[in-house]
Chain A
Amino acid sequence: MDRVETARTDAGRGPLLQARGIDKFFGPVHALKHVDFEVREGEIVALIGDNGAGKSTFINVLTGVLPHDGGEIVFDGRPVRLASPQEARRLGIETVYQDLAVAPHLDAVANIFLGREYRLPGPLGGLGFLDRRRMRRETEEQLARLRVRVPDLGRRLVTLSGGQRQGVAVARAVMWASKVVIMDEPTAALGVAQTAMVLDLMRQVRDNGVPVVFISHNMPHVFEVADRIVVLRLGEVVQELDPRRATIDDAVSAMTGSIRSVAAKGGHGGR
């Protein structure tokens, strides 16, 4: 579980995770149109777009939840086939899905270890007996390291508030990610203070050498943390913005298409 500490700026290497020309159809709907996207070492890259722009679909493709119809995904320089979310996870890519994907009847520890439970050593473990103490201890250690506190690790998530549940989902992703963290609307259910904390956690993760993909509708949040902003509209990457130079208005017009600026502000422009 220990994270590889990578230097923040190693310009020598290419992007860590790259999507090239991704196409995705839902029946006749062309949900993703030749999407190019990359995640570089040491950055928080924001992916923004209006409702239905294709952000979640793209994340689902990128993490093996959905198959894609064209293009390829390159991880660490090698093309990869992600047939399932586990394969993405095995590469060190962790995701907070928009629908959270937690089991509300289980407690925080069970959710954090869901699908990768520790079993007791010896024959009992062979029978499937869980090492509950070890899972609990490791959860406590990791959450302390990340300075995340979950109210009562032994309480079922149904008895937690929506924000607290979201906290568990964020903690799970951050705790296991060794290469990339992807968060689809991680602040959607959070109040002001809690949002600030999650944004701060993202910076902390990035500074520990794990790049973050941050999906949000909330422009102030995006401009607060992102190092780079990619705008998706109707399934197409229409613009890349540099938050230090672009304004929220620029981002909004790129999202809504009211002004289709061809002159890119940060990187390459619309295709």
Chain B
Amino acid sequence: MAGEPLDAISGLAPEPTVRPGVLARLSGSFTLLILAGVVLVFSAINGGRFFNPANFQNIAVDAAQLLLLTVGVTFVIITAGIDLSVGSVLILSAVVAAKVMVRYAGEPAEVQAYQFPNQGTAIPLGLAAGVATGLTCGLANGLLITRLKMPSFIVTLGTLGIALGLAQLLSGGVNVPNVPPAVQQEIGLRELIAFEVGGQRLRLTPPVLIAFVVAVLAAVALNRTRFGRYTYAVGSNAAAARRVGIDVDRHLVKVYGLSGLLAGVAGGFDLLRFGTASVGSHQSDNLAAISAAVIGGTSLFGGLGTIGGSVIGAFIPAALRTGLVISRVQPFWQNVAIGAVLILAVFLDQRRRRVEERM
């Protein structure tokens, strides 16, 4: 026997290996099917009014902000955690960014008169302050979760409230006034690349480019680097990760920090797109981002998820919204549809787990 291969531990052994069933395999491409379905239905109803490059550009602009949040939340959920605070952190970051811009763009009297002599430094400074705010919130989440050994659900529910409250205190509950319009006109709407397609002028703007680059980098990091591998390992079996010497707490702090950082960048997008920090919106962005990640195949139980899935998941609400508007249907139906899709996605995820896991 000594010379024989150890078939005991091989696939040729009598014990059968588990093959995922049809449903399970379907759920892999489920998200793409949903998105394709949305596009198809609206194209069928509206023809060229939906299915045209300019409209897709609008969808991309619309999805960019949610995409950033979704990417961050995807990392968190893969570690079997949750980040409920991203929407509030986005708002706080936007308010901080706007406040810093207003403060440093010129003397108060000048800013009141809509003159911004120092906007060249104030705008980058404000954007950086927003990103730093997001990163700080994320790191705080990670430290609270790992140091106090508290569930991420509770900690980020707490920081959701704290960040939102701070944003409201800072802004007085209204959109920050007197933000230099250059942040929107010169940066947010700047045409990086413009080209003609079928008589329509398409432009690539910084938010879309940033979101695209972030998504690509995130996908590479998740698949090709040790950081990504540890993210899966921690979510798959934190105790096992600890045993092999992975500093799980440190890794979690980084992951929540990343989520906060991306929420900070998304906060900057508010200024780039709307020229102000919109305090009233974004309060359900956390749930939108989590839904997008889960619809995209990220498992709330941890260990599973891809950036590709999340990107598609983040595009579904935007595609639905524009589609409904173009079809002159109340856009509020979007919430109904997303909710139904979410339930279906989690159902399929559970089916998949039941098939796969016999632990």
A residues in contact (CB < 8 Å) with B: 65, 84-86, 89, 97, 99-106, 110, 114-117, 119, 127-130, 132, 146-152, 155, 158-168, 170-171, 190-191, 193-198, 200-201, 203-204
Contact = CB atoms under 8 A, between A and B. Distances in A.
A126 to B, nearest CB: 11
Contacts of B199: none
Which 10 A-B residue pairs are closest in the complex by CB-CB distance?
A167-B9, A151-B11, A115-B244, A194-B8, A197-B8, A105-B303, A149-B10, A86-B245, A105-B236, A103-B236
Contacts of B358: 161-162
Nearest to A101: B240
Contact of B15 (A115, A159, A164): A164
A110 B225 CA distance: 12
Nearest to A90: B245
B237 A170 contact: no
Interface of B: 1-20, 221, 224-227, 229, 232-233, 235-237, 239-246, 302-304, 356-359
B229 A117 contact: yes
B8 A114 contact: no
Contacts of B239: 99, 101
Contacts of A86: 244-245
29 contacts: A86-B244, A101-B239, A101-B240, A101-B244, A103-B232, A104-B357, A105-B232, A105-B303, A114-B241, A117-B226, A129-B224, A130-B225, A148-B9, A149-B12, A151-B12, A159-B17, A163-B8, A163-B13, A164-B15, A164-B17, A168-B9, A191-B14, A193-B7, A196-B1, A197-B7, A198-B8, A198-B9, A200-B2, A203-B2
Contacts of B1: 196, 200
B9 A150 contact: yes
A128 B3 CA distance: 39
B158 to A, nearest CB: 29
Contacts of A128: 221, 225-227
Which of B16, B235, B239, B243 is most buried by chain A, counting CB atoms within 10 A of its CB?
A: B243
A164 B16 CA distance: 10
Contacts of B237: 101-104
Contact of A114 (B7, B14, B15, B240): B240
Given A102-B237, A119-B226, A170 B244 contact: no
A270 to B, nearest CB: 33
B5 A147 contact: yes
Contacts of B10: 148-151, 164, 167
B4 A115 contact: no
B291 to A, nearest CB: 22
B257 to A, nearest CB: 16
Given A105-B232, A147-B6, A151-B11, 20 more contacts: A103-B241, A105-B236, A114-B241, A114-B244, A128-B225, A129-B224, A130-B224, A149-B12, A158-B359, A159-B17, A159-B356, A163-B9, A164-B10, A165-B359, A166-B9, A194-B9, A197-B9, A198-B8, A200-B1, A204-B2
Contacts of B233: 103, 106, 110, 114
B12 to A, nearest CB: 7
Which of A114, A152, A163, A167 is most buried by chain B, counting CB atoms within 10 A of its CB?
A: A114
B357 A84 contact: no
Contact of A97 (B221, B243, B357): B243
Nearest to B304: A105
A147 B4 contact: yes
Which of B4, B11, B18 is most buried by chain A, counting CB atoms within 10 A of its CB?
A: B11
A198 B304 CA distance: 31
Contact of B5 (A99, A132, A149, A196): A149
A115 B245 CA distance: 6
Contacts of A114: 229, 233, 240-241, 244, 246
A103 B221 CA distance: 19
Given A193-B8, A197-B7, A115 B246 contact: yes
A159 B227 contact: no
Contacts of A160: 17-18
Given A101-B243, A106-B232, A129 B9 contact: no
Contacts of A129: 224-226
A23 B224 CA distance: 44
B352 to A, nearest CB: 10
Contacts of B11: 149-152, 164
Given A84-B245, A129-B224, A130-B226, A170 B240 contact: no
A27 B356 CA distance: 39
A35 to B, nearest CB: 22
B8 A167 contact: yes
Contacts of B6: 146-149, 167, 197-198, 200-201
A21 to B, nearest CB: 26
B17 to A, nearest CB: 6
B225 A194 contact: no
A114 B204 CA distance: 41
Contact of B303 (A100, A103, A168, A203): A103
B14 A158 contact: no
Contacts of A165: 359
A158 B357 contact: yes
A55 to B, nearest CB: 17
A231 B9 CA distance: 29
B15 A163 contact: yes
Contact of A171 (B2, B3, B9, B225): B9
A223 to B, nearest CB: 18
B18 A161 contact: yes
